[in-house]
Structure 1
């Protein structure tokens, strides 16, 4: 089923032991999902960033199904898909 695979870029890591600055997710309603992430009601990673007042932006978005999301997540290198980090 088609939806949106999205990549969030955080302005800094959420902590020294978890250096990731990206989150990849899938949704049918991108606006609603981003609103949930911003309110801390989305993924735990985003909620932790919100608690620490770490901002994020939507860095990339693809029209795709969940299998594409899984392929990106399995690579464990979200940075390479981020246009912000490439610059």
Structure 2
């Protein structure tokens, strides 16, 4: 992969907060495989921890055709504002997660 590789940014919402965390924002070239990794508790440290705690999650938003730089820009924003569940008025016309 290089800086111009296109993939999908995705936003996960936890069933309940884990300490301060309620969301996880990531990027991948294969969303279905990455979500399977997260479900198995192997896709990222935070997802490993919430899986071990028995906290479920759902994919609530995607941004297709994005790069790692796009992921960084999204992470620099406040995630609840990006979440169509937490902020339904601010998330009109968003792509819902489908795998």
- Higher RCO, 1 or 2 (CA under 8 Å, sep at least 6)? 1
| Residue pairs, 1:34-49, within 5 angstroms | 34-49=35-50
Q: Do structure 1's residue 70 and structure 2's residue 77 form an aligned pair? A: no
Could you list the structure 1 runs, at least 4 aligned residues long, displaced by more than 6 angstroms after superposition: none
The structure whose residues are more often helix, as a share, is 1
For structure 2, the 5+ residue unaligned runs are 89-99
Q: CA RMSD in A?
A: 0.9
Cross-structure match for 1:7: 11
SS of 1:40's partner is coil
What TM-score do the two structures reach when normalised by structure 2? 0.80
1:83 corresponds to 2:87: no
- Equivalent residues, number: 83
